[in-house]
Structure 1
Amino acid sequence: MMKKISRKLLFKRLSTLKVGLLTVHEGHESWLLGDKGASPELRATIRVTSPRFYWAIITGGSLGAADAFVEQSWETDDLTTLLRLFLRNEITLHYEEKGRFKLAKCGRWLVHQLKRNNIKGSRRNIAQHYDLSNDFFNLFLDENMMYSSAMFPTENADLNTAARHKLDVICQKLDLKPSDTVLEIGTGWGGFALHAAERYGCKVVTTTISQQQYDLAKQRISEKNLTHQITLLKQDYRDLTGTYDKIVSIEMIEAVGHQYYHTFFSTCAGLLKPNGQMLIQAITIQDQAFDRAKHEVDFIKRSIFPGSCIPSVTSLLTAMTRASDLRLFHLEDIGLHYAKTLRLWRERFFQEQENVIALGFDKAFIRLWDFYFSYCEAGFAEGYLGDMHLHFVKPLAIRAK
């Protein structure tokens, strides 16, 4: 009885599907939802393997769908297409508006609030994701271990080429010179610092609060004999001192938290010389969705990046304007490049599945990351998410050409 009620409620929500076709299989039964004449690229299938599938979504929304997928309560031939179908039709799976469902939602929000990005909290939140294992990330990232969107110069460019091209684009936008001292906020595993020092001859001061990233970046810098050019720190951005010609921060702002955007921009402006420039690469959400999303706990916040908040362009520019003397000089959205980057990461991840297990991760972890890669790829492919290059300048910045 409970399964029938849950299924009826879910199918009522899915009946709003206007673009594409969703086929649901359970045992010997099948249901078609949406446009039966939909093109093949907009067709998706769900195979229900446990009645828990319906109840998980009714009680947990998109989080419940993710949990049920990890628990193998449902399968699909193309997870990314399925999630794109939901986004294309603006279908949300939230049923948490009354009674204990609302209480559960409030509970998740409270847990997220306890993960605020003060200095201590930031270290803890970063460690939960980036300190999983350097060997793990090395399995699917490019040879420079850039855990951020690549930029594909041609349709056939491979991941390594595209990752290097993105770094060149950033360096060239900032017109890096050997005389520059560049501050990087968010070292990762040292990919940008090594590239900028080797290819452009500048000095780089780079900081991370991840112990695992710090250890490997230190090793890579030493192996390249670049310790005279690259200074590696393990400091929170709020504790940095000095003045710099340029600042770079690649997909770190998502870990700042919306409560600290003003602090971030005020700090960066204070670290730049009067003619300095800054470029940040930032994953962004649609402006219209930001106010709602910043207070919700979605799959990414709960299961992948604790304490995170994806900003909107407007939220960043508002904080920049109010907290600093920076000006926006140029903006570029490379979000479609991210969809392809994620697709390649996912392919490499599954090619290395046995090695993932050998590192101590189980099948549930693999399904969790399968959902993560597809969830993000769908967001970028549908334009719900963007990936912005925001190039800021100080008032006295001399703009080349």
Structure 2
Amino acid sequence: MLMLLDRVLDGLIRYGDVTLIDADGNTHRYGGRPFTDVPLEHRPGPVTLRLTDKALHRRLVTNPALAFGEGYMNGGIEIDQGTLRDTLNCLMFNMYRGDGHWLLEFQSRVNGGLRWMHQNNPVHVARKNVAHHYDLSGELYDLFLDVDRQYSCAYFPTGTESLDVAQEAKKRHIAAKLLLEPGMRVLDIGCGWGGMALYLAREFGVHVTGVTLSTEQLTVARRRANEEGLDAQVTFHLLDYRLVEDSFDRIVSVGMFEHVGASHYDEFFEKVRALLKPDGVALLHTIGRPDPPGGTNPWIRKYIFPGGYSPALSETMAAVERQGLIGCDVEMLRLHYALTLRHWSERFAANREKAKALYDERFCRMWEFYLLASEMAFRHESHMIFQIQLARHQEAVPLTRDYITEFEKRVPLRLQQAEDAAKAKVAAAAEGAAEASAKVKTPV
């Protein structure tokens, strides 16, 4: 089996500099080609991996996507040279831009063929899957998310924004596409900790109903609404979207569609249409894939998002069409999630000891693997965000997209203003100190 593993890796890793020390102490070298088409700041350095578990000789051949993550989590794979970022950057670059390997391609096809089973999410299963991830300690999420606990892709107009500003920009960008007016009734499907619902109510005077399947998120969202005095405008419920019975002027769903499952897409959009008023507008913000439908990485499916799946645009829009909805606008946000995940992983690393105190070392290794592997998926697999604006009637939105840009010019980013003011204050203080120093006479 060790000989087969060596052949697989030799065929797969053509770029970079990777050394593997197997569990028997033998050293293997792979790669050699330079990363000529990768920006310098994203090029991984040399990597040396050490296997401490002989079972990985077999498992890395028979189920590499699951075995590598588990091997790192459990300490069966140690990194002697380089970092986990270097490792995943190099390996995923080779997997998705290199020559590939027939065994990995075969396993990917099998995984995609079984997705009907992996993504079966009836109401009771959906609640269990959500609890697996979102009912973790709230303290954990405070270690790496922004101040508003936005656990979805941020929006970087220039790419240089702080995480907090980029998350506010995301909320503003979505609000622009919702064409809100005071007094409108809005449904937030998968409301998380309430940040989007509270933002829309606070800034635009709408009434928002948020639904979630996470008890932890519900508790936080309700507390936040109470603290902000928005109880009369915002209500949160522990409820599956399929059980909502009402009608709404606007519907928004951010980072929830990935948990629906491809076999439930028609059910999802049928419900959106039923809940949306005839002249209403809906906005779907979801992770997506630019290639044909497939499956979910086995490690991510087992440890991070059971029942989760990144949809292809083709299968999403096919379901939209079947349910009689009109796709008014489709925007692809490329690399925005890679930037978001970079912020998250750096924040988690800075607070790793606190996370370890909450859980343990194995959990920390799992979480850092999840954040970094996800970032590399958005860099190398070309995963991206789809923002799909939907309506029941063609005249529900303006003829051109100019209204989005005009809205964003009119509505300021308060956090950006606060950060700019703070920077200006620091700069002014520094300038004043320099002037004072210059006036001091040198003693004779």
**TM-score > 0.5 by shorter chain:** yes
Farther off after superposition, 63-72 or 262-271: 63-72
- Contact 1:325 1:395 survives alignment (8 Å): no
Question: Residue 287 of structure 1 aligns to a residue in which SS?
Answer: coil
Which amino acid is 1:9 matched to?
A: L
Q: CA separation in 2, counterparts of 1:10 and 1:273?
A: 57
1:132 matches 2:136: yes
- Contact 1:115 1:125 survives alignment (8 Å): no
Farther off after superposition, 88-97 or 67-76: 88-97
Farther off after superposition, 48-57 or 135-144: 48-57
Corresponding residue of 2:31 = 34
Q: 1:297 to 1:338 in 2, by over 3 A?
A: closer
1:156 matches 2:144: no
Which amino acid is 2:207 matched to?
A: K
Choose the corresponding residue for 1:395, options 393, 398, 404. 393
Which amino acid is 2:314 matched to?
A: T
Farther off after superposition, 142-151 or 374-383: 374-383
Corresponding residue of 2:67 = 64
Corresponding residue of 1:368 = 366
| CA drift at 1:56 | 2.7
Deviations 1:79-108 (A, max 9, x none): 34122332222636957979xxx9xx89xx
- After superposition, where does 1:314-329 map in structure 2 within 5 Å? 314-322=314-322, 324-329=323-328
| CA drift at 1:118 | 0.8
1:119 matches 2:127: no
Q: 1:162 to 1:73 in 2, by over 3 A?
A: same
Q: CA separation in 2, counterparts of 1:152 and 1:67?
A: 33
- Contact 2:14 2:30 survives alignment (8 Å): no
- Contact 1:59 1:95 survives alignment (8 Å): no
Corresponding residue of 1:85 = 94
1:347 matches 2:346: yes
- After superposition, where does 1:221-236 map in structure 2 within 5 Å? 221-236=225-240
Q: 1:73 to 1:114 in 2, by over 3 A?
A: closer
Q: 1:37 to 1:224 in 2, by over 3 A?
A: closer
Deviations 1:293-339 (A, max 9, x none): 1xx661111111111122111111111111x2211111111130100
Farther off after superposition, 71-80 or 116-125: 71-80
Q: CA separation in 1, counterparts of 2:145 and 2:298?
A: 25
| CA drift at 1:209 | 1.1
- Contact 2:190 2:210 survives alignment (8 Å): yes
Deviations 1:196-241 (A, max 9, x none): 1111111111111110000000000100000111121111111111
Which amino acid is 1:15 matched to?
A: D
Q: CA separation in 2, counterparts of 1:275 and 1:358?
A: 51
Corresponding residue of 1:304 = 304
Structure 1 runs not aligned, ≥5 long:
none
Q: CA separation in 1, counterparts of 2:346 and 2:249?
A: 39
| CA drift at 1:349 | 0.8
Which amino acid is 2:155 matched to?
A: M
Q: 1:90 to 1:364 in 2, by over 3 A?
A: farther
Which amino acid is 2:124 matched to?
A: K
Deviations 1:7-37 (A, max 9, x none): x322322333476223214288654423344
Task: Please report the RMSD computed on the Cα atoms of aligned residues, expressed in angstroms.
Answer: 2.6
Farther off after superposition, 152-161 or 244-253: 152-161
Q: 1:162 to 1:258 in 2, by over 3 A?
A: same
Q: TM-score normalized by structure 2?
A: 0.80
Which amino acid is 1:47 matched to?
A: L
- Structure with higher Rg: it is 2
Q: CA separation in 1, counterparts of 2:248 and 2:19?
A: 57
Corresponding residue of 1:201 = 205
Q: 1:158 to 1:11 in 2, by over 3 A?
A: same
Question: Residue 15 of structure 1 aligns to a residue in which SS?
Answer: helix
- Contact 2:65 2:297 survives alignment (8 Å): no
- Contact 1:207 1:236 survives alignment (8 Å): yes
Q: CA separation in 1, counterparts of 2:104 and 2:95?
A: 16
Corresponding residue of 1:238 = 242
Q: TM-score normalized by structure 1?
A: 0.88
Question: Residue 16 of structure 1 aligns to a residue in which SS?
Answer: helix
Which amino acid is 1:229 matched to?
A: Q
Corresponding residue of 1:55 = 58
